[in-house]
Amino acid sequence: MTHDNGRKSGSCKEVSGLQEDTAGGTASKSTSAELGSAAVESDLFASGTGRSSGSLDRLLDMFEAADGEYLSGEEISRRIGVSRTAVWKQIRRLKDAGYVFDASPKLGYRLEASGSALDVRRILAGLTTSRFGRDLTVLPKIDSTQTEAEKKARNGAAEGTLVVAEEQTSGRGRQGRVWHSPPGRGVWMSTVLRPEGPLTAVPQLTLLAAVAVCRAIRGVSGVEAGIKWPNDLLANGRKLCGILLEAVVEDGRVRHCIMGIGIDANLEEGDYPEELQDKVTSLLRESGTEVDRSALIAAVMNEFEQLYMLYAQEGFEPIRLLWESLSVTLGREIVVRDVRGERRGTAHGLGEQGELLMKTEDGALIPVYSGDIEIYPG
């Protein structure tokens, strides 16, 4: 995922637009590096199962049932059946995951806030899917969820496997740029896809993903996000979400894809580098209210699976119409910058493959398959 700050990271080639020449599939073959640093996975989360460890489940249940009242370390130790030291360690892990506690030497511990933390149980409870998000890994910190999901895919992970992190230290985006991913503020996640069909159909999935995320954001936060071609989400002209699709291809067929999504959920102005503050926004900044990130993750998975099934049954046409209905690009004067240079025109619609159709001054429709799009005036 990337905020366009000019910095580069990684060596992956992504499918972000539609490649005009995809013969042999080499233009979109992923060259993902192996995980650069070990993913430190807290015992709070059970990798690959989507279930938190039993004692921590019970600990959270106890604090939620206490409804803001203090629980002594002795009582917790007795009820869970672990030592006082183990209780302290588990509370520290919960703090690392974003839960906020008040500690009193005389009274014990009190849970002050849990809504801001990613919660495996709330994510799973919010899913209506049959596949997507069911195999869930939540990590406190990692270099990139893309890299971890790619590693899982190469080891045979099923379609719909989801990797989420509280923080990314080297989040990736389009054209190797860096996605700013501070801890506890956003939705940083990657999903394994195993689509059937040729490489040329893969870019349509980026448009499908944009529709799914846009619908989820609107439903959960109320923010009227819109799509800028092909798959950036904007609010009031500023970017709040990016989507990256990376494909691994063998013999001209897609072996698997990794769909990365970065949503600036609860970032405040001071959370961004100075050079980004006027270019980006967040759901919190737009709505004035923190969004439940666990609910948002579940909503994205629900929307995506529904549209993914629709796409498998009816093809791209219904996705195209949905994308156009949510677009902030169509009807606007745009500047296209690609290998051909800079071109201007009016965004007219999507073609059958998902390419952007730009109308020139002489009325001709020119397909745009890739490149950077700027809505003019910006």
Q: Is 172 annotated as a binding residue?
A: yes
Burial 298-322 (b: 16+ CB within 10 A, else e): bbbbbbbbebbeebeeeebeebbeb
Residue 367: C-alpha distances to residues 19, 42, 333, 374 (Å): 11, 48, 15, 16
Helix count and strand count (H, E) for the chain: 9, 16
332 is in an annotated binding site: no
- CA dist list (Å): 361 to 214, 215, 344, 354, 358: 31, 33, 9, 22, 10
Phi, psi values for residue 80, rounded to 5° = -90, -25
Question: Residue 179: which of 94, 84, 244 has the closest Cα?
Answer: 244
CA distance 259 to 149: 9
The packing angle between helices 73-80 and 84-96, to 10°, is 100
Q: Which residues contact 167 (CB under 8 A, 6 or more apart)?
A: 140, 141, 142, 181, 182, 183, 184, 188
Q: For residue 100, what is the enclosing H or E element? A: strand 100-104
Q: Is 174 annotated as a binding residue?
A: yes
Decide: helix, strand or coil at residue 354.
coil
Q: Please, which residues bridge with residue 338 across strands?
A: 341
The number of beta carbons lying within 10 Å of the beta carbon of residue 220 is: 20
Report whether 54 belongs to an annotated binding site: no
Sign of the CA dihedral running 310, 124, 299, 198: negative
Give the annotated binding-site residues: 168, 172-174, 239
Binding positions for biotin: 168, 172-174, 239
